[in-house]
A and B are shown apart, each in its own frame.
Chain A
């Protein structure tokens, strides 16, 4: 007989092993799936996970995808550590792109060295504003943060679509729903001559380290952790829950906004309808896979970026739909949550002895 028992202490081993176990289970599950689709699972895995790291160009592209994932995931890790279920990174990212993009278009004739910082700042502030609405609604009316942030994702998406179809459409763009290309003064510098690795990726990595210092070294970070882990204790200690909620939500919104503006002023270079292939949603998985630890997010964002690249390559090379990436992510999160169960619980095997009468 198998019995589920609560562990006396959380298992440190399982905390680390759980993401690895989840990845292995996902790979096994996907192999079965590829086999039933008539594809060679080994080849499919190679294309999905190894090929993206096979040459410098692909590695560069991997970093380009890792940047926004990491920025969003760092912000979300902070929110989730504070027990605030912000699902709105996608919307905050889009608003960052829209706000920063609008500023970049307004500064299209400028040659000032301040043009780019202003555009980036506008993007960050737009992301913060987009995070501020649900935060206010939660703190004032106790609305459900999960629902409001998801709804704000849709509002952000349709605002962006409206903008590129309407006021921000390039007048010389033959009616395509795209803005004009941004000028060089408002484009993020690339780090290497080849490829598209831009300054935003450096900012993303810095943000991960900064968030780590915030959480583990600062007093406010300590308050955030207490608030998330044990709200009655935070209230007892006299920590200001509203202030803490505002802090993490605005940081998360700002980072997601930065991700958005870095996309449009970096690799994309203009406003288009499809800025994000769901970075804000994938970042939720990245945050969990990284154990809600900003430095863990660094590893998991890399993994997820490889998967994005692999999805593109898989479509080209073995002809599976890109939806495979979404499925892969979903299955991964599913297995991760299942494996996390064993951090707090364990199975014990009990021999079936006949009950004595």
Chain B
């Protein structure tokens, strides 16, 4: 591969990239260029074509038309290993690390023989790079003992070891605490200063305005605009992303709940799985007409807490959970639903919806009231109701007969939210309602949550997106290692304090010592 000596040239230039999928033009004549050292944001709603575009660059998808020009030379990237040979590295949203191997072994796995020989001492090189970029990664540690933030740094290190010249990051901050995000940005800025170009996909606009020099906005597979985020505001960028968005998703009023609907008292629950989190003495009250937000880095007991409350966990927890003073610890998930509890789970596909079933069938999944007579299903009624959810929540799909798996993540989430809210629950527990959802869909999900709150439902909102929690929650707390922090009115706290709580500052030292 010839390398251009002219450094003023673009590092990478995409010309008229077009990719047609059956029934969907994912990329329509997209052109894009990055200078060396440029941090470039790729923005767009779900289904706008961002993933397809970066997969094209990384050699996972081959484009139907268009050219990729790398350092002034046209190249054909046929596979990720081709891309790595060129100096393109990518950190996916879902990490691809083996938990039972060490950092160094994981990095070794994706190096070619030639690269391995060139690097004489891999652990030494990892240590040096880690020190140089302030990544703080020990090559001998096992992946399963690392936090999410650390794992992400391993992924970045993996790219650095291969002397990356273009780093692609797919929603890198969605799993990090605010402090970890700040650290990541330090690393990215350092890389950029050394001439490494960075392509940054994010839904969080204030991050984009903070660190990106340029932004390309995609909508419906086309480039809508290229701008300098620093000269724009998050709201003006949001407008470009979703088009005619009537009002902005901000400044909602806070409310105080009325009477206590749901209580957890000294909820202790040992872990079921080897890498699970034990719930330790969880206490909280949830009031009618309020949104209680629970922050926390993934894997600190949120999943276990949700499963215990919804009843999916399946174990008896007598005298720990109360709905309207009634002990629900011995009821199963179905019986709790009957009492008016609804649940929006974190995984949409495979749990919130059955992938191979139609939206009509997925409507019946959690909502059977009025659809069953003598044990037989009135499919026509279910179908009409599914159609109603689709219309009301503007779910983009071919129709109520579409398989759940054919919907994009955001649209499926809108459907699930609509289905659960449509049951007029008295308690809604809701995990990561807008994770991976575009701005437009997030706005409508936020508004429907607030409407439900205003109608008097109690909402427990678990999210890793701290901005979202501050936006929606009336009271807020954080989980860390299975402990729940004190709860505080959102107005009376700030991101700094919740960030510290997410890191466990509220846990008394006597407890910490016993772990």
| CB of A137 within 8 Å of the partner chain | no
A226 contacts partner chain B, Cβ-Cβ < 8 Å: yes
The answer to whether A238 and B332 touch across the interface, beta carbons within 8 angstroms, is yes
Most A Cβ at <10 Å: residue of B310, B333, B337, B406? B333
User: In the bound complex, what is the Cα–Cα distance between A356 and B337 (angstroms)?
Assistant: 60
A233-B377 contact, Cβ under 8 Å, with A222-B361, A238-B336, A238-B337: no
Smallest distance from the beta carbon of A130 to chain B beta carbons, Å? 27
Closest to A220 in B: B375
* Cα A217 to Cα B361 with chains together (Å): 11
Cα distance, A155 to B337, chains bound together (Å)? 43
Residues from 154 to 181 in A contacting B, C-beta threshold 8 Å = none
In the complex with contacts A217-B377, A226-B365, A238-B334 CB distance below 8 A: yes
Cβ–Cβ < 8 Å partners of A220 in chain B:
375
Most chain B CB inside 10 Å of its own CB: which residue of A9, A10, A229, A237: A237
Q: Does A192 contact B (CB under 8 A)?
A: no
Task: Write the nearest CB–CB distance from A332 to chain B, whole angstroms.
Answer: 26
Q: Are B357 and A218 in contact (CB under 8 A)?
A: no
* Contact between chains at A236 and B377 (CB < 8 Å): no
Q: Is the CB of B343 within 8 A of A236?
A: yes
Complex Cα–Cα for A232 and B333 (A) = 12
Contact of A9 among B343, B353, B368, B406 (CB under 8 A): B406
Report how far A236 CA is from B376 CA in the complex, Å.
22
Residues of A contacting B355 in the complex (Cβ-Cβ under 8 angstroms): 230
A236:B406 contact, CB within 8 angstroms: no
* Chain B CB within 8 A of A35 CB: no
Q: Out of A9, A233, A356, which one reaches B352, CB within 8 Å?
A: A233
Residues in B neighbouring A46, C-beta threshold 8 A: none
Query: From residue B36, how far is it (CB to closest CB) to chain A in Å?
Result: 23
Asked whether, in the complex, the Cβ of A238 is within 8 Å of the Cβ of B351, the reply is no
Expressed in whole angstroms, the minimum distance between the Cβ of B197 and any Cβ of chain A is 23
Using an 8 Å CB-CB cutoff, how does the interface string of A203-222 with B read, 1 for contact, 0 for none?
Answer: 00000000000000111101
A219 touching B375 in the complex, CB below 8 Å, given contacts A233-B365, A238-B311, A356-B76: yes
A240 within 8 Å of B by Cβ?
yes
A4 within 8 A of B: no
Q: Which residues of A contact B371 (CB under 8 A)?
A: 219
Task: Flag whether B136 is at the interface (Cβ < 8 A).
Answer: no
A236 contacts B345, C-beta separation under 8 Å: yes
Q: How far is the CA of A238 from the CA of B328 in the complex (A)?
A: 14
The minimal Cβ–Cβ distance linking B28 to chain A, given in whole angstroms, is 20
Of residues A222, A229, A240, A355, which shows the largest number of chain B Cβ atoms within 10 Å of its Cβ?
A: A222
Query: What distance in Å separates the Cβ of A344 from its nearest Cβ neighbour in chain B?
Result: 11
Chain A residues positioned under 8 Å from B16 (CB to CB)? none
Q: Which one of A8, A237, A240 lies within 8 Å of B366 (CB-CB)? A: A237
Against A, the Cβ 8 Å flags (1 = close, 0 = not) of B336-380 are 110000010101001111111100010011101001100111010
Judge if B403 is at the interface, Cβ distance under 8 Å. Answer: yes
Closest Cβ of chain B: how far from A207's Cβ, in Å? 18
Residue of B nearest to A236 (CB): B351
Shortest CB distance A243–B (Å): 10
B364 contacts A232, C-beta separation under 8 Å? no
A226-B354, A229-B354, A230-B350 in contact; A235/B368 too (CB < 8 A)?
Answer: no
User: Are A235 and B333 in touch, CB under 8 angstroms?
Assistant: yes
A236 touches B312 (CB 8 A): yes
B511 contacts partner chain A, Cβ-Cβ < 8 Å: no
Bound together, the chains give a CA A268 to CA B76 distance in angstroms of: 72
B406 cross-chain contacts in A, Cβ below 8 A = 9
A194 within 8 A of B: no
Query: Does A34 sit at the interface, judged by CB under 8 A?
Result: no
- What band does the interface of chain A fall in when counting residues whose beta carbon is under 8 Å from B? 20 to 34
Is B134 located at the chain interface by the 8 A CB criterion?
Answer: no
Please determine whether B357 and A238 come into contact, CB atoms closer than 8 angstroms.
no
Is there an interface contact between A226 and B22, defined as CB atoms closer than 8 Å? no
Size of the B side of the interface (Cβ < 8 Å), in residues, is 40
Is A55 positioned at the interface, with any CB of B under 8 Å from its CB? no
Which chain B residues numbered 306 to 346 have a C-beta less than 8 Å away from chain A? 310-312, 314, 332-337, 343, 345
Q: How far is the CA of A225 from the CA of B365 in the complex (A)?
A: 11
Given known contacts A222-B364, A238-B332, A233 and B351 CB-to-CB distance under 8 angstroms: yes
User: Does A193 make an interface contact (CB < 8 A)?
Assistant: no
Contacts of B372 in A (CB 8 A): 219
- Which of these, A10, A217, A219, A230, contacts B354 with CB under 8 Å? A230
B-chain residues with CB within 8 Å of residue A219 when the two chains form the complex = 364, 368, 371-372, 375-377
Query: Smallest Cβ distance from B222 to chain A, in angstroms?
Result: 23
Report how far A352 CA is from B104 CA in the complex, Å.
35
Q: Which residues of A contact B117 (CB under 8 A)?
A: none
- Residues of B near A357 (CB, < 8 A) are 1
Bits for A279-321, please: 1 = Cβ < 8 Å to B, else 0. 0000000000000000000000000000000000000000000
Task: Check A237 against B376 for contact (C-beta < 8 Å).
Answer: no
Are B354 and A233 touching (Cβ within 8 A)? yes
A236 touches B352 (CB 8 A): yes
Set of chain A residues within 8 Å of B310, measured between Cβ atoms:
236
Name the CB-closest residue of A to B314: A235
Q: How far is the CA of A235 from the CA of B310 in the complex (A)?
A: 10
> Is residue A246 contacting chain B, with contact meaning CB distance below 8 A?
no
Does A239 sit within 8 A of B, measured CB to CB? yes
Kindly provide the distance from the CB of B398 to the nearest chain A CB, expressed in whole angstroms: 12
The smallest C-beta distance from B334 to any residue of chain A, in angstroms, reads 3
Contacts of A218 in B (CB 8 A): 375-377
Shortest Cβ distance from B99 into chain A, in angstroms? 21
Bound CA–CA A39/B420 (angstroms): 66
Instruction: Report B-chain residues with C-beta under 8 Å of the C-beta of A225.
Output: 357
Give residues of chain B (385-409) contacting chain A, Cβ–Cβ below 8 Å.
Answer: 403, 406
Q: Does B451 contact A (CB under 8 A)?
A: no
Q: Which residues of chain A come closer than 8 Å to B354, judged between CB atoms?
A: 226, 229-230, 233
Q: Taking the nearest CB of chain B, how far is it from the CB of A140, in angstroms? A: 14
Chain B residues positioned under 8 Å from A356 (CB to CB): 75-76
Residue in B closest to A356 when the chains form the complex, CB atoms: B76
**Contact residues in A for B141 (Cβ distance below 8 Å):** none
Q: How far is the CA of A351 from the CA of B368 in the complex (A)?
A: 52
One digit per residue, 1 when the CB lies within 8 angstroms of any chain B CB and 0 when it does not, for chain A 332-357 equals 00000000000000000000000111
Given contacts A240-B332, A240-B334, 13 further A-B contacts (CB under 8 A): A218-B376, A219-B375, A219-B377, A230-B350, A232-B351, A233-B353, A236-B310, A236-B312, A236-B333, A236-B352, A236-B366, A237-B333, A355-B78
15 pairs of residues in contact across A and B, judged by CB atoms under 8 Å: A217-B379, A218-B377, A222-B361, A222-B377, A235-B314, A235-B333, A236-B312, A236-B343, A236-B351, A237-B366, A238-B332, A238-B335, A240-B332, A356-B76, A357-B1
Q: Give the 4 A-B CB pairs with smallest separation, nearest first.
A: A238-B334, A238-B333, A232-B351, A230-B354
